[in-house]
């Protein structure tokens, strides 16, 4: 005979016949909660399925399925002629552990400790404003989306299905992608490579993180320019490296300061964005490029060359990468298609000597077994048929027009509030505001009026604050740029962004 106490316990179970989750699974969840809470003890006999069905106005088959589900999971056991029991070997829970998932709510905190101090905070903000002067993103409306879709779809044809989908492939990327990249990088950047010099990654940040994991040890010294890219710097810190910042002027990274450090300390790696320094957009002058390569050979440090926007240079042909003049295997070159199309396309590459690529591929397996070979091969098709090259030429013309339009607006409308140099390339203008401009307040007020721009906090360092931000022009149309500058002008003239 079923216990009145147990019947009362089961009668309080609630299920929702209109919910998306099957009723028998809801019921099994509720019974499991009773076991975990200690309300159903080890060895205890459960009410019969007929009784529970009557108590909850359910079909008996539904209750039987719930019992069977819990038996399959090992939370119940059934005996012919005796009934259904909570297994005697299940330990009885301690009262202090009766919170958490058994309450039916998602957990907010873990039961174990997290050493959050070990990680540098990496906040992010996803703006939803209709207008944007962003960090330098491309305009996705210009990207060859139809061609990308067609190339991706072609990879899903039925030919060679097992080769494409039957198992894992090379961790460094598919041969088709590496072959296309090798040709492309040779033609456009003067890099002498084979497929064994290339490793596919999902973007610059993954490439940099992989290099830090594989080649940087705690205590190693990593040098980069100040101001620089905060995400890169956080990778150095997380790897346990000692990060040293050196100045950046109108000719790029101050290599004389680097040499002074090398004379006193063993430098492991130098991170540099020589084509357009992030965030100031200045190009590393040719004599400094050659000197940087000479110092790398002399002192034995790695050069991590982040060439994030090679294709977009307006005054003349893009400067060839440091890697193209590297005769001693000191440069790891990183590029990405994210700045060409959209950050949503996670396709990039590392270029380095063969033994480095083998080592990076071995480490990469621990994080990401092989990447997205379907997307990689679709990108290879676009490289081979010239789609990417045609797109870059088209986008370059449009971005240059937007740059000129935007710089004219800044000069004419905000001349008394900002100073800047017209960038030779890239997708942003490094813009310095007057010292009495409160960028945090200005950004907040602008966002309230539908315009997003950075508040400049990521570009400030101890001893360095130019009260400057990157104002991206490439992702906005000319009318949108005009409207954006109009909002800034109104706010600045009203003193909305002025320090009190």
Q: What is the CATH number of the domain that holds 287?
A: 3.40.640.10
Whole-angstrom distance, CA of residue 26 vs CA of residue 243:
53
Whole-angstrom distance, CA of residue 368 vs CA of residue 203:
13
Confidence check: pLDDT of 97 > 60: no
Which pLDDT tens digit goes with each residue over 252-310?
A: 999 999 999 999 999 999 999 998 899 999 989 999 999 999 999 999 999 999 998 88
Shared domain check, 185 and 264 = yes
> Average pLDDT of the chain?
87
Shared domain check, 384 and 400 = no
Confidence check: pLDDT of 96 > 70: no
Shared domain check, 484 and 399 = yes
Least confident of 111-125, 271-285, 437-451, 461-475: 111-125
Which residues, in sequence order, are CB contacts of 181 under 8 Å at separation 6+? 193, 198, 349, 380, 383
Shared domain check, 166 and 80 = no
What is the number of domains present in the chain?
A: 3
What pLDDT score does 169 carry? 67
Shared domain check, 154 and 210 = yes
Shared domain check, 314 and 201 = yes
What pLDDT score does 87 carry? 93
- The answer as to whether 111 is a domain residue is no
- The answer as to whether 291 is a domain residue is yes
Average pLDDT over residues 95-109: 59
Confidence check: pLDDT of 102 > 60: no
Confidence check: pLDDT of 118 > 90: no
Confidence check: pLDDT of 98 > 60: no
What pLDDT score does 168 carry? 60
What pLDDT score does 99 carry? 47
What pLDDT score does 456 carry? 92
Question: pLDDT: is 282 or 90 the higher one?
Answer: 282
Shared domain check, 355 and 413 = no
Which pLDDT tens digit goes with each residue over 129-188?
A: 999 999 888 888 888 888 888 888 887 775 666 566 645 667 778 888 899 999 999 988
Whole-angstrom distance, CA of residue 236 vs CA of residue 209:
8
Confidence check: pLDDT of 67 > 50: yes
Helix 23-36 vs helix 60-73: angle between axes, to the nearest 10 degrees? Answer: 50
Question: pLDDT: is 314 or 500 the higher one?
Answer: 314
- The answer as to whether 410 is a domain residue is yes
Residues in the chain: 500
**Pick from 29, 35, 27: which is nearest to 11 by CA?**
27
Range 324-329, long-range pairs (CB < 8 A, 24+ positions): 324/189, 324/190, 324/191, 324/192, 325/289, 325/290, 325/293, 326/293, 328/293, 328/296, 328/297, 329/353, 329/356
pTM, two decimals, is: 0.78
Shared domain check, 30 and 179 = no
Burial call 246-282: b when 16+ CB within 10 Å, e when fewer: bebeeebbbbebbbebbeeeebbbbbbbbbbbbbbbb
Phi–psi pair at 330, nearest 5 degrees: -100, -15
Q: What range defines the domain where residue 468 resides?
A: 131-135+395-493
Shared domain check, 54 and 175 = no
Question: pLDDT: is 161 or 23 the higher one?
Answer: 23
What pLDDT score does 498 carry? 67
- The answer as to whether 125 is a domain residue is no
Domain boundary among 389, 420, 452: 389
Shared domain check, 356 and 309 = yes
Domain boundary among 371, 389, 407: 389
Share of the chain above pLDDT 70, in %: 93
CATH of residue 467's domain is 3.90.1150.10
What pLDDT score does 158 carry? 59
What pLDDT score does 2 carry? 64
What pLDDT score does 228 carry? 93
Which pLDDT tens digit goes with each residue over 396-409?
A: 999 999 999 999 99
Domain boundary among 103, 119, 152: 103
What pLDDT score does 347 carry? 77
What pLDDT score does 100 carry? 44
| Max mean pLDDT range (103-117, 153-167, 326-340) | 326-340
Shared domain check, 431 and 293 = no
Shared domain check, 209 and 96 = no
What pLDDT score does 310 carry? 81
What pLDDT score does 328 carry? 93
Confidence check: pLDDT of 430 > 70: yes
């Amino acid at each position: 005979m079923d216990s009145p106490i147990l019947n009362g316990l089961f009668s309080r179970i609630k299920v929702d016949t209109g919910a998306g989750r099957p009723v028998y699974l809801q019921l099994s969840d509720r019974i499991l909660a009773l076991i975990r809470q200690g309300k159903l003890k080890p060895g205890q006999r459960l009410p019969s399925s007929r009784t529970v069905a009557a108590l909850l106005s359910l079909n008996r088959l539904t209750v039987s399925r719930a019992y069977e589900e819990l038996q399959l999971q090992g939370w119940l056991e059934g005996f012919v002629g005796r009934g259904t029991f909570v297994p005697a070997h299940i330990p009885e829970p301690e009262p202090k552990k009766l919170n958490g998932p058994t309450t039916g709510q998602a957990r907010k905190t873990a039961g174990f400790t997290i050493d959050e101090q070990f990680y540098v905070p990496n906040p992010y903000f996803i703006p939803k404003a209709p207008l944007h002067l962003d960090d330098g993103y491309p305009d996705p409306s210009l990207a060859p989306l139809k061609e990308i879709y067609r190339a991706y779809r072609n990879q899903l044809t039925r030919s060679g299905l097992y080769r494409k989908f039957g198992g894992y492939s090379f961790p460094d990327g598919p041969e088709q992608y590496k072959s296309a990249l090798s040709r492309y990088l040779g033609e456009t950047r003067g890099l002498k490579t084979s497929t064994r010099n290339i490793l596919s990654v999902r973007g610059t940040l993954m490439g940099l993180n992989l290099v830090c994991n594989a080649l940087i040890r705690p205590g190693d010294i990593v040098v980069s320019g100040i101001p620089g890219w905060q995400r890169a710097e956080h990778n150095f810190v997380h790897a346990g490296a000692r990060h040293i910042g050196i100045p950046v002027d109108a000719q790029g990274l101050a290599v004389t300061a680097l040499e002074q450090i090398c004379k006193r300390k063993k430098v492991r790696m130098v991170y540099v964005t020589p084509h357009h320094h992030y965030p100031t957009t200045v190009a590393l002058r040719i004599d400094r490029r050659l000197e940087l390569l000479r110092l790398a050979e002399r002192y034995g440090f790695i050069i991590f060359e982040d060439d994030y926007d090679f294709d977009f240079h307006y005054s003349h042909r893009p400067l060839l990468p440091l890697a193209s003049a590297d005769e001693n295997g000191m440069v790891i070159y990183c590029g990405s298609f994210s700045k060409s199309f959209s950050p949503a396309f996670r396709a990039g590459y590392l270029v380095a000597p063969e033994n480095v690529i083998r080592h990076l591929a071995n480490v990469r397996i621990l994080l990401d077994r092989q990447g997205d070979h379907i997307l990689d091969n679709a990108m290879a098709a676009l490289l081979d048929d010239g789609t990417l090259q045609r797109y870059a030429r088209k986008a370059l013309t449009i971005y240059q027009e937007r740059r000129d339009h935007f710089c004219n607006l800044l000069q004419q409308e905000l001349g008394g509030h900002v100073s800047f140099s017209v960038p030779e390339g890239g997708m942003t203008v490094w813009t310095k505001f007057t010292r009495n401009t409160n960028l945090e307040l200005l950004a907040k007020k602008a966002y309230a009026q539908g315009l997003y721009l950075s508040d400049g906090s990521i570009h400030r360092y101890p001893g360095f604050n130019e009260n400057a931000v990157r104002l991206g022009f490439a992702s906005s149309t000319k009318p949108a740029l005009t409207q954006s500058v109009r909002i800034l002008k109104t706010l600045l003239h009203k003193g909305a962004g002025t320090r009190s």
